[in-house]
Amino acid sequence: MSMRFKAIQRILGALVGLSSLFSLPALALALAFDEHTAQAFLDSFLAAAAIGFVLWWPVRRVHYELRLRDGFFITTGAWVLASLVAALPFTLAPPYLSYVDAVFEAVSGLTTTGATTIVGLDALPRSVLFYRQSLNFYGGMGIVVLAVAIMPMLKVGGTQLFRAESSGPTKDSKLTPRIAETAKALWMIYLGLNLACALAYWGAGMTPFDAVSHAMSTVATAGFSTHDASFGHWDSAMVDTIAIVFMMIGGVNFGLHFVAWRRATVAPYQHDTELKSYAFILGGVTLAVTLTVWLGGTFDGLASSFRHAAFQTVSNMTTTGFTNTGFPEWPSFAPLLLIMVAFIGGSSGSTSGGMKVARVVMALRQGLREVRQLVHPKGQFLVKMGGRRVSESIVLSVGGFCTLYVLCFLAVMLALAGTGVDLVTAFAAAATCINNLGPGLGDVAVHFGDLSDTAVWICSFAMILGRLEVFTVLVLLTPSFWRE
């Protein structure tokens, strides 16, 4: 094995070892609540730690200067291995899932998708529920960004990893001079938002356990809940409003939160083009859905229609995936619009999935430029974002990304249809997995438990593909990547 792959093995071994720590908070909770699940979490911790140790120990002294392309392999490998390890408690403790379903559950948690194969959440032990919610928390800011904060201890520069992990078209912009400092700063903001969200939920009437659990999946725009009915369990306008606010915050570029927090000013928000587009799209879709459900007589009165439409629109566009009623049964085009808006997703640099607002706006402006060019062949038209010209290389890169993203979605949809599911289910499952959304339409409107094992594996792959924004995974499928 080459030095390069030994160096990669050393990092992946360390990351698997770190992933074993996922089980410890749930183990502590199981012991505190005297639940029989403690042994399952202990076994999961020991198994994952052992696997990590076996990978790391033989190559612990290897030193090799990693390149950017190695960052792609490590990023993808970290997500895959962490998911395989994180699946263990779901097989050893209630609900005793098959390993295929357990991997799906773990991938869904870590990629902040929020889709589930479990029915009967309310009956599960609290330690299992907490473990499931905590996967959303870890995945929200990205396992690899967490690792970047720890990478200096492994004597590996984190820049390659951060570039492969962070979402959006402007990956190279650092917030602080050192990448580890950036990761730590982002985590501090993330933790602060989680704390504020938990306190707000508690004040609105949730139990402390539910408040903490749902804060972990709200700020991460992830969508796991401790109840089968999700937010319909409370049916509270106040709880819905708090969720809307924190889902919207989670869908905003964390770089903006960082700059605003450091300078103690809201100016960064006021001058951000992507944020304005994000708010505009949210407002437009909310209005369309409100009118549809109101005129369709789904809810009593305009106020109730607006509340449910706003909650579901924000939930779907930020790819959180919470529900407070069964939106697939809503009238007219509302369910399809709510699935489609997840393709846009939140802002780049946020915890949301989807293609990201900046890319969609840029692709739209490029399309409009081509139309103008047809009318005025000799005219010079520029694509601008925030009043500044966008370089042609970024415009081409965004166009390529959007094309590949849609092709990947179509490939996943066709693969799912090939396993025998109906077309509505195949479309919704592919859209909800690649966009990291959660709830779908058809047979996956509530859960994915009825799909075949093959379909579940395809969905698990699609969630990682979407979470790592297709390029990071697809680059590994090119022969040139594997040549030294």
284-304 mean pLDDT: 96
- Distance between CA atoms of residues 438 and 396, nearest Å: 30
pLDDT one-digit tens code per residue, 13-56: 999 999 999 999 999 999 999 999 999 999 999 999 999 999 99
- Distance between CA atoms of residues 326 and 102, nearest Å: 25
Q: Is 241 annotated as a binding residue?
A: no
Q: Is 117 annotated as a binding residue?
A: no
pLDDT one-digit tens code per residue, 197-233: 999 999 999 999 999 999 999 999 999 999 999 999 9
Q: Is 112 annotated as a binding residue?
A: yes
* Of 151-155, 268-272, 359-363, minimum mean pLDDT range: 151-155
- Distance between CA atoms of residues 315 and 269, nearest Å: 21
Both structure tokens of 399: 């166009």
pLDDT one-digit tens code per residue, 62-74: 988 887 778 889 8
Whole-number mean pLDDT of the chain? 92
The amino acid present at 344, given as its one-letter code, is I
Q: Is 290 annotated as a binding residue?
A: no
**pTM, 2 dp:** 0.94
Instruction: Please calculate the CA angle 94-100-101 and round it to the nearest 5 degrees.
Output: 45
Q: Is 320 annotated as a binding residue?
A: yes
pLDDT one-digit tens code per residue, 176-188: 667 777 788 888 9
pLDDT one-digit tens code per residue, 100-158: 999 999 999 999 999 999 999 999 999 999 999 999 999 998 765 755 444 444 444 45
pLDDT one-digit tens code per residue, 446-459: 999 999 999 999 99
375-383 mean pLDDT: 91
Residue 385 backbone dihedrals phi, psi, to 5 degrees: -135, 125
426 has a pLDDT exceeding 80: yes
Q: Is 286 annotated as a binding residue?
A: no
How high is the pLDDT of residue 155? 45
How high is the pLDDT of residue 356? 93
